[in-house]
Structure 1
């Protein structure tokens, strides 16, 4: 018989050859240093030099078990291991699965005797702490758990999590059984969640999150600051509690439809606070899908832009309203007059443009100063506004000039009482301090529609012209623009312009009609007859254009041209040996 035994380690299943004379010393496993047996030694297999069949069977069984263990370890999402801390402070890994290469970048066989290569892979900032947690677990035999970083030679860093159970060994060492796995993705996700939570909590914009049924599940601090609602007050509610009365159901349905179709809506919205006041919000609503793509939540982010809207309205007011009187200015008047013309055309009604100029206002300014003049303008603008009907417009063009637009007149006669009342209120004395200011109004009126098509600017010019007629007629009255007279004047003006152009472009001709003695047949002279070779109307007789220039300086110019043309023709005849008298 052999004087040695083959003992299978109960921990790492390695076969140890132990001399018989060493059994009393209770030897440890040569690989993992775990005691091969405690108390009475158990001989699992003995062999003789002559017959090792049973030993081979055991080895085959152990190899099969080892392969099964490695197969199992390869499917575990991490590294399985045994780690021993010796009494002298050195350490090693009696067992580590193949995943150790992914976790530490070292091979399991490199740390069987010495764990230094594994600890060298720890991030320098974490290495001491990991040692301390292991020591603490060894002292208390409490479960070891830690998260730390591993740094690879190429600079790549991963986060790992380890957990193992310690066991005190008879030789004074501590043996841990556990696993370590890569948690880099989890840490990254957790960091993203922490960042998102910080943004959610500290964002200056209000954030509201609902479930798929639009019930509020969370709000942030800014939401409470802006709306006045505490978080507990809105949980389980719907965003309808923020709706103002500025929109109808159709508007909110449009927003909801956009969310359903595009998973997104952005715009400005007036909302209601808890105290009932309203605020303008710049709002973005986004649908948040789950992994399968189904809508799981809706997230709304908004900021309070009330101050900005008020500033914008103030700028618009400055751009469109007179600062002194608060009335629409020239720019807004033009816009409203164009709208009024379109409305009048659609409704088949009439409108009046009333140009108002204050008589004697300059005298008030000169006598009492501009401050009094400004107050007078403010008082009169209020008085004249009160005379107008709802829907009418009174605007200040500047200085002491105002324009009123009277709309929806079934007949132009409806405007007469309003015109009379405007003249009346403008002439009423206005006490300002110690001064009693008195002015009157000269008013020009033009109406729409007219026989000819006309635009807003032309209507305004007509009313302006009519106002000057009112001033010339004695002031403190109104004058209606005469469209027929204006049309006649325009026709005359256009005719004079055409004649002047014809004269400049050589379009006039002289025809000569000879005078003959009927008894002798002698040519006694010639009568010069002027004609106009019009480029569009053909040859025109004097009756079609001479009446226009009668008593007009242009008539002198045409007469001068006629005489010069006749004299030129006579000189031509004289040189040809012919002589005759002329008449025109």
Structure 2
């Protein structure tokens, strides 16, 4: 051997090839294999055998179908047969191997044709490297990127939605920094402040409008939220750019960072002007007569009480002038309530013009008015005032379509200088004096004389006659229909008391019940009404078809009845005696009975509600106080007073909405024309009563109505 041959080393031979292949197959962790033309394993690396839990000898002549899932094995066979046909290798293919046991792994595979020394293809060989970790990491990164993209898209969507909400909100929303400078204002906030966003950012309210009323309270509220971290409410009024006064309610909330530290204040301001106006209208309604706009009984008695307190500090005299329009009922009966209301409005105007600016003119109800006068010097002043009242009301009333109505008034006057006199007694004395005028022909005035008037009080005679009215069968009931406004279906009746007086004719409740109340006869009369109404309802129920909806019967109840200890037992006894379901009986309580907290009345109402009787608040709508008490008493139904001015739509709507919100149904009372009916129906009033829907009927008339209603198919 030459020196050059020795330098190059030994020439490769077949034995060396076997050494290299064995070392490669024994040492490599990769999967290395040689296959024949049928894709059977001839030689495999130790790494491959271990991968499958076999020895190399056990792998001999196995196929991929022995080691892998069928789908993967079929794909590998197809690749190898293609290599055998074409002689083209497959280089660096990344694929997922699936095993018979369901496990998988990712590999990077290269496959080549296996040739003999003459270059003929005698099989295939290949090498696979496990890349599962890398693929899993890449897949995790892809999922993370997808989630990040989705989160970014969601954030963009939420931001767009929030922007749309802020831009479209009618509430003025602003963001304040700790030093009370604007960071953000939405379009509604720009409109409220009358400035563009760029003119507000970075500035304080004090810098923008330094002398605006209420600014100190506003800044104090913002600083309170910053210091306490607690939200708060703030209400304020503002003169708007068009000169109108606006009312606003603001919710102030702390803005915090991730650590919870307060870094600003978010404010949301809502225009509550309409709600304030409705609230004021309700407050005015509570103390004023809806027809004339004068003070009502509640406001009169409050001012009278204040006047009596002033007498304790300064001596003087307080007078009440009680005015009752003569024969006013004839006006209503002949020309209708619309003309009657015109007369009342004109009467109110005339009384206001007669009185002094400091006098209070009030309407008690119906055609009864009262003037409260303080600082009366002497009786001559009272005579002069009363005479002027009689004179101004005797002048013709121009109403309706050219009507000229000649009317007159009976006027009674009471006066006191005693600061301890009871306001109710002073009003009673003026009422008594007024009745003296009616006894002597009307159209005049009379000053109350304690010694003479009490003996001749007409109420005493009426009270004496009332004591015998029940036993002599002079009391009777009329029945006014109650209809559903949605479908005009008959729901029941209200029992209305009438007194067939032997000499005065048929008297309505307003003509004798005040006397009965003062004489302590309401318990006796009320018991008769309750029993008679239940008896009539029982008779109608017995003769009604079985599939008819049950009728209800409404009975009016006075405050004295509710305060009496035995009224609950009386109701229970009447229901049991006539077999009436408690839910079929409606007890109507006048709104004024709910004005004062009377534990006796509240206890009675609770017991009746627990019994299942329907409780109705009658003539509702004139008192915010009673509105506030509604959630505390078991009331089923609210019955609206006759609203003469349905132009006060927001007041009526507020009453109906409040009642519905408390789960009560609403009855519209005194419906006399189609406009009232349409307005109440539009405001979702449930049921209704009034001359338009049905006048009070006697027993026979009510039965004819019942038979007619049952004949109409539903």
> Which structure has the greater CA radius of gyration?
1
Q: What TM-score do you get using the length of structure 2 for normalisation?
A: 0.39
Structure holding more helix per residue: 2
Q: What TM-score do you get using the length of structure 1 for normalisation?
A: 0.47
